[in-house]
């Protein structure tokens, strides 16, 4: 499932800003709030949806201040309103390339170039594909990567969730509001989700767990009708009938446009210093897109604040 922007694309006439932020997830929105409050002209570029992957999360329970949790859509909407209140411009386009010049950076988009003094990369991540037979064929025809987007299509159906990490279990809990049964497939011989999430999912009777199992293919004619799963201990393979499958097997950084521009690690995440500096002066990175041991809304918000502060200091000291 791909997000689409609900409103028409805003046209921005001004082409020169102090700070350009790439990505409007929690890190980018927070950076925008801090930069704008420092009285710097700030623009955020977002090619998909404001709020990023966090906006598609049904319930966020580990962000401070909401004892009963809050939906990702509501939380990121509040962040967006706050950023706009302080004057941040949000431009519905992605950045295709960064041209680094001696005293400025040029951000290239499909609707023209923008000149900024400093850049904050907060382009986030995208769900990782399994790259098994049938995945491309049935994407959008039974295969989804977003429970909150597509759960209603599977009312009273049998589905599979691939991955038993936090995302898989958390989204599975949401899917149980709609579906008849979930079969969880996990490559490892154990779940990696937080214990509280494991306890919650196991309390439901209409769930089954196939641990130490590998999904080998998606099956069907025009639409998904089954998955083939191999037991990694015995090597035996079986076909399981399902009407849908939700894939949560990890994240890929949205950094293709950065290759050759800033230093990336082997997985493609942006390398940063403790002050969130990249390998290029005046370019900083924040949130899930950078090399970090924890990717949560809370850490993204902290990154956004620090990256903005460092960008402000960089501009002041130029």
In 10 A of CB 39, how many CB atoms?
11
pLDDT in tens, 270-291: 999 999 999 999 999 999 999 9
Residue 13 pLDDT: 80
Q: Please name the residue that has the structure tokens 């991955």.
A: 163
Residues with a known catalytic role = 146, 149-150
Q: Which two tokens stand for residue 49?
A: 């949806």
pLDDT in tens, 222-265: 999 999 999 999 999 999 999 999 999 999 999 999 999 999 99
Residue 10 pLDDT: 62
pLDDT in tens, 82-107: 999 999 999 999 999 999 987 899 99
Question: ∠ CA(237), CA(240), CA(243), 5° rounding?
Answer: 150
Q: What is the pTM of this model?
A: 0.87
Q: Please name the residue that has the structure tokens 């002041």.
A: 316
Q: Is 112 exposed, middle or buried (0-12, 13-18, 19+ CB in 10 A)?
A: exposed
Q: Please state, in angstroms and rounded to a whole number, the distance separating the CA atoms of residues 88 and 135.
A: 39
pLDDT in tens, 112-158: 999 999 999 999 999 999 999 999 999 999 999 999 889 999 999 99
Residues 6 or more apart whose Cβ sits within 8 Å of residue 192:
164, 165, 166
Domains and CATH numbers, the chain: 16-126+251-316 (3.50.50.60), 129-247 (3.50.50.60)
């Amino acid at each position: 499932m791909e997000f689409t922007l609900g409103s028409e694309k805003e046209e921005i006439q001004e082409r020169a800003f102090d700070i350009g932020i790439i990505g409007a997830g929690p890190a980018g929105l927070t950076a925008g709030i801090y930069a704008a409050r420092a009285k710097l002209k700030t623009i955020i570029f977002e090619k998909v949806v404001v709020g990023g992957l966090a906006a598609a999360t049904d319930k966020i329970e580990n962000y401070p201040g909401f004892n009963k949790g809050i939906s990702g859509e509501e939380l990121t909407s509040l962040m967006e309103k706050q950023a706009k209140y302080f004057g941040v411009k949000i431009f519905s386009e992605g950045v295709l390339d960064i041209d680094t010049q001696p005293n400025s950076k040029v951000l290239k988009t499909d609707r023209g170039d923008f000149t900024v003094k400093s850049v904050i990369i907060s382009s986030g991540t995208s769900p990782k594909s399994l790259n098994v037979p049938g995945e491309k064929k049935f994407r959008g025809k039974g295969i989804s990567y977003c429970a909150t987007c597509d759960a209603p299509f599977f009312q009273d159906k049998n589905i599979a969730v691939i991955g038993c990490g936090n995302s898989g279990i958390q989204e599975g809990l949401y899917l149980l509001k709609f579906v008849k049964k979930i079969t969880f497939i996990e490559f490892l011989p154990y779940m990696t989700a937080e214990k509280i999430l494991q306890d919650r999912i196991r309390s439901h009777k209409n769930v089954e767990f196939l641990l130490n199992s590998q999904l080998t293919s998606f099956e069907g004619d025009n639409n998904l009708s089954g998955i083939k799963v191999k037991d990694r201990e015995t090597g035996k393979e079986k076909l399981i009938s399902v009407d849908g499958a939700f894939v949560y097997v990890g994240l890929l950084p949205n950094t293709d446009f950065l290759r050759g521009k800033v230093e990336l690690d082997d997985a493609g995440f942006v390398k940063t210093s403790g002050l969130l500096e990249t390998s290029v002066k005046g370019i900083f990175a924040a949130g899930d897109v950078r090399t970090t041991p924890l990717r949560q809304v809370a850490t993204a918000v902290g990154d956004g604040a620090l990256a903005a502060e460092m960008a402000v200091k960089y501009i002041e000291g130029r």
